[in-house]
Chains A and B, each alone.
Chain A
Amino acid sequence: MAPVTLKKLVKRYGSVDVVHGIDLEVKDREFIALVGPSGCGKSTTLRMIAGLEDISDGVIEIGGKPVNDLPPRARNISMVFQSYALYPHMTVRENMGFSLKIGKVPQAEIDQRVNEAAAILDLEKYMDRRPSQLSGGQRQRVAMGRAIVRKPEVFLFDEPLSNLDAKLRTQVRTEIKRLHAKVQATMIYVTHDQVEAMTLSDRIVIMRDGHIEQVGTPEEVFKRPATRFVAGFIGSPPMNLNEATVDGGRLVLKGGQSLPLPLEFRNKVVAGEKVVFGLRPDDIYPTGHGLSSGEATDVHELSLPVSITEPLGNETLVFITLGEKEWVSRMLNPRPLAAGETIKLSFDLSQAHLFSAETGKTLRS
């Protein structure tokens, strides 16, 4: 049973703070993803949890006990590195059994646990090979095997998929998810890829510049982003965001055009207020080519020229210019469109987001 708690955690290099006193509670057996752009402090946070980085201030608790000054080996954790960090002078079997050998576990038990892990990860054929004789995906599995064998309370993953090619990444992603279901341990997963974070985790922590922007389930962070940053970061293609000014019942987009003020926000903004308007590509669609949600109550139609299209087979991304920005709309059951062709687009304003232009925080209460 190992919940992980971070209390006012700070990391300082000289006079520069890279992690600014973050608070986080990871529940026992929860899969949590730390996600954010590079330099946001997510890896540093993970390394502090692992004990590889000193803590400048604050407390880290694993299983309810503070571990601030414990060395990594005393924290009962396992870590999978981005580089895999397999010991090149050892075979797969030795790599996986290394921690047990160091822990002076009897050889018979080492063999049994290593074989167990190998079976889970389908590595039996490669047990006597060296890491240099394995492919990237196999190395990744060995790294996971090495982590499993320890039977730790907490698994830490530091961007474990970023060295794999796209196809393998999806495959290993599924394996990690399966692994979590099987071993039932707390997992903390660092990634810069929001798709990985969305698909794998119970909850997502979005970090930026050493602060936590939002903590929530994948659905929460997708549907109700707390800040403009989260809105732009989560989702692919990203949410369309455009600065706008409230003018009576309308939003005047920076760059000229205007849209009606979404009903939901009627009483939450005042005239003249500067806001950021956001709408996901799924919620802008060539009329008749959207998700068939019969309940859409706040749809607005505009006729706009197509600037470019990106056909993806089952759908087409249609780019249009509105305000000062290029907006992306998603066309389901696509039909061929020519650049320059003017089409009718439906804007589902019931799905719109408004953020304060000043603070970036959502105006939805």
Chain B
Amino acid sequence: MDQNNAHRLKRRGLKVLHLVGLFLAMLVICLPGLWIVLNSLRPTVEIMAKPPVWIPQDISLDAYRAMFGGAGQGGIPVWEYFRNSLIISITSTIIALIIGMAGGYAFARYKFKGKSAVFLGFMLTRAVPGIALSLPLFMIFARLGIIDTHFSMILIYVALNVPFTIWLIDGFFRQVPKDLAEAAQIDGCTRWQAFWQVEFPLAGPGIASAGIFAFLTSWNEYALASQITRSVNSKTLPVGLLDYTSEFTIDWRGMCALAVVMIVPALTLTFIIQKHLVSGLTFGAVKG
């Protein structure tokens, strides 16, 4: 009896510890985000106060009003930045996905010379810090006259995302049994039809997650964009954050408000697509 009690107590204790641990972890992950939202709603005095003010005293949407208010009232061309970000991120994501699907499929299904070397090469490109490329890229793009264009940013983000999408999509195609495409071919499909009718729908969740990753990378990227974009023609939202800094002051509240504006669409998109990320869809295809 005592032993039972002891074990029950121990199990409860462990459960409490587990929950506390989870809470702490979530705190570390969520606090910065919450802090940003909070700071976008209160005056700089309160943001900078020492000791910190945890419970906001003076909440207002002034920063958002000012941001969309246009020049002269402390506003920035947020709609232009938003448009640029959207065009660049979506286009580069689509291109990266198309190349990633073609490449990933090839790596998953075909044997060819130097396959593992090429694959390793792709992965190595991820080891190069993006910022190290900014100067050479700037010089080349300047020569080509494509500085400050959507095209240059799309080019960069496609190059940045393709190795990753190939790697991810390769893994998902590998999980789709080869037999299925063969069965489809026997059922009357061409190779191309077999891909679209059978393999693509099954790898769909994987392709969607690769898409989310590619989109977020492009949406959030700052280092390279800050070098290559110059004006409202191509500046993206992360670069737009810099508009809130001036020689002597930083408008923390405005910056936080813009950050929130940036986070919202990314979060929405992720939520929408995540619903479709049903894993384990291939279960039941093969085996008894």
Q: Which residues of A contact B286 (CB under 8 A)?
A: 81, 83-85
- Which residues of A are found within 8 Å of B113, using beta-carbon distances? none
Asked if B282 lies at the interface with its beta carbon under 8 angstroms from chain A, I say yes
A87/B285 in contact, CB under 8 A: yes
Bound Cα distance A223, B189 (Å): 45
What residue of chain B has the Cβ atom nearest to residue A136's Cβ?
B288
Chain A residue numbers with a CB within 8 Å of B179 are 81, 83, 85
B47 at the interface (CB under 8 A from A): no
In the complex, whether A164 has a CB less than 8 A from a CB of chain B is yes
Is the CB–CB distance between A102 and B188 below 8 Å?
A: yes
What chain B residues lie within 8 Å of A93 (beta carbons)?
none
Contact A89 B183 (CB under 8 A): no
Closest Cβ neighbor of A150 among chain B residues: B187
Considering the complex, which residues of chain B in the window 161-212 have a beta carbon less than 8 Å from any beta carbon of chain A?
A: 177, 179-180, 182-190, 193, 197-198, 201-202
Cβ-defined contact, B285 with A163, below 8 A = no
Is B284 within 8 A of A133, CB to CB?
Answer: yes
A102 and B180 in contact, given A131-B284, A134-B284 (Cβ under 8 angstroms)? no
Q: Residues of B contacting A88 with CB < 8 Å?
A: 202, 281-285
B202 surroundings in chain A (CB, below 8 A)? 88-89
A131 to B180, CA, bound (A): 13
Contact check, B188 vs A52: say whether CB atoms are below 8 A apart: no
Distance of A170 from chain B, by nearest CB (Å): 15
Q: A52-B186, A102-B193, A132-B283 are in contact. List 20 more A-B contacts (CB 8 A).
A: A50-B182, A52-B185, A72-B186, A73-B185, A73-B190, A81-B183, A83-B177, A83-B285, A84-B286, A85-B179, A85-B286, A86-B285, A88-B202, A88-B283, A89-B198, A99-B186, A102-B188, A102-B197, A132-B284, A164-B288
- Select from chain B the residue with minimum beta-carbon distance to A143: B183
Name the residue of chain B whose CB is nearest to the CB of A158: B179
**Which A residues are within 8 Å of any B CB, using their own CB?**
50-52, 71-73, 77-79, 81, 83-89, 98-99, 102-103, 130-137, 139-140, 146, 150, 163-164
Complex interface: chain B residues within 8 A of A78 (CB): 186
- Closest A residue by C-beta to B176: A88
Residue of B nearest to A129 (CB): B284
User: How many whole Å from A100's CB to the nearest CB in chain B?
Assistant: 8
In-complex Cβ contact of A130 among B177, B198, B284 (8 A): B284
Residue of B186, B189, B281, B282 most packed against chain A (CB within 10 A): B186
Contact of A163 among B177, B201, B284, B288 (CB under 8 A): B288
CB distance from B40 to the nearest CB of A (A): 43
Q: Are A98 and B283 in touch, CB under 8 angstroms?
A: no
Contact B188 A73 (CB under 8 A): yes
Q: Is the CB of B283 within 8 A of A73?
A: no
Residues of the B chain whose Cβ atoms lie less than 8 Å from the Cβ of A140: 288
Q: Mark B21-48, 1 if CB is under 8 A from A, else 0.
A: 0000000000000000000000000000
